[in-house]
Amino acid sequence: MKIIIIPGDGIGPETMAVCTQILETVSDKLNLQLQLDHEIAGHVSLQKYHATVTPELLAKVKAADGLMLGPMATFDFKDESKGEINPSKYFRKQLDLFANIRPAKTFPNIPTRMNPFDLAVVRENTEGFYSDRNVESGNSEILVTPEVGIALRRITRLCCDRIAKSAFELAMTRKKHVSIVHKANVLRITDGMFMESCYNVAKNYPEVTVDEFIVDAMMAHVVRNPERFDTIVTTNMFGDILSDLTAELSGSLGLGGSLNAGDSYAMGQAAHGSAPDIAGKDIANPFSLITSASMLLNWLGQRHQLPLYIQAAKLIDQCMEQAIAAKETTQDIGGSLGTKQTGQRFIQRIKTA
């Protein structure tokens, strides 16, 4: 299996270096024969190629088996005519990565105000209120006058059906419970279509318990009682906000792993941003990218029927739990180690497991 490695901006090179070393270590231990090809995107690519992401890079990603994308300074990239393309959006759209899966769980040694929980947010990834990906040309934010702006929201039956199916398939591997999050009391047509798709797909999974929540009420429910949830399915913007909340409730956004998956491609990606204010200080938490790498290995194992890849994902998850229990972590989750030393301790755990 070939995985393209793109470090990203800000803290990306530091955290991706740790993640890459862990992938290499687990590959050696289990004889995965991983091939990791290093490429660039973001600010480094903009300086070198006058574009944050290039068609040549896309071709390399399509020819590979998976992609690990580091945090990107997406807010900096405003003018696509100048090559300032959002790499995350670009790959999600060009590879049709319609399912963004973001797990969140608590760990015994990380202080939180929550009861223990283990859930996953399944977020539609290719349409919704995101103006840079839901129309063919340009974007769907329109400045009518200097004082009037309009934003359009695209919802399609196809995208609703396939994100619902992704959620129910994931729920079958978890606690068989799907919660539909929507705003159909106001967005009657678009969220109405989304809910209809979810309930139609649910008919094919009679073992799964289904409930539904209006999105604003859901935020209160998740803060008050997150342990009641298992698999949460929702549209793009709602899922983006909700998954950041659940990751933070687990102890730190630095624990927030993420997999962007489609029918043919998948991309592991940290749920957090590039955090330029702490870049180069050796304090960034690498666990979000490490979890994302584990999710990518599991996806490759499931898709290509490679049991060793699934075993590798489980080994990474097990070592992470042990590292957190031993407080071999960065300071944001109660440890005292830097980014590099956290990675070194993690690698030793894999080697001795």
pLDDT digits (tens, 9 = 90+) for 126-144: 998 876 666 776 678 889 9
pLDDT at 74: 85
Q: Is the pTM of this model over 0.85?
A: yes
Average pLDDT over residues 235-255: 92
Q: What is the set of domains in the chain, with CATH numbers?
A: 1-101+258-353 (3.40.718.10), 113-249 (3.40.718.10)
Contacts of range 43-50, beta carbons closer than 8 Å, 24 or more positions apart: 43/9, 43/73, 43/76, 44/9, 46/83, 46/84, 49/83, 50/82, 50/83
The predicted-structure confidence for 314-323, as pLDDT tens digits, reads as follows: 999 999 999 9
Q: Measured in whole angstroms, how far is the alpha carbon of residue 184 from the centre of its chain?
A: 25
The predicted-structure confidence for 281-293, as pLDDT tens digits, reads as follows: 999 999 999 999 9
pLDDT above 70 covers a percentage of the chain that reads: 98
pLDDT above 90 covers a percentage of the chain that reads: 86
The predicted-structure confidence for 45-72, as pLDDT tens digits, reads as follows: 999 999 999 999 999 999 999 999 999 9
For 219, other C-beta atoms within 10 Å of its C-beta total: 16
Share the mean pLDDT of the chain: 94
Q: Which residues contact 3 (CB under 8 A, 6 or more apart)?
A: 23, 34, 35, 36, 37, 64, 65, 66, 67, 68, 296
Angle between helices 12-30 and 339-352 (to 10 degrees): 10
Please tell me the distance from the alpha carbon of residue 172 to that of residue 104, in angstroms, as a whole number. Answer: 17
For 154, other C-beta atoms within 10 Å of its C-beta total: 17
The predicted-structure confidence for 179-193, as pLDDT tens digits, reads as follows: 999 999 999 999 999
pLDDT at 309: 98
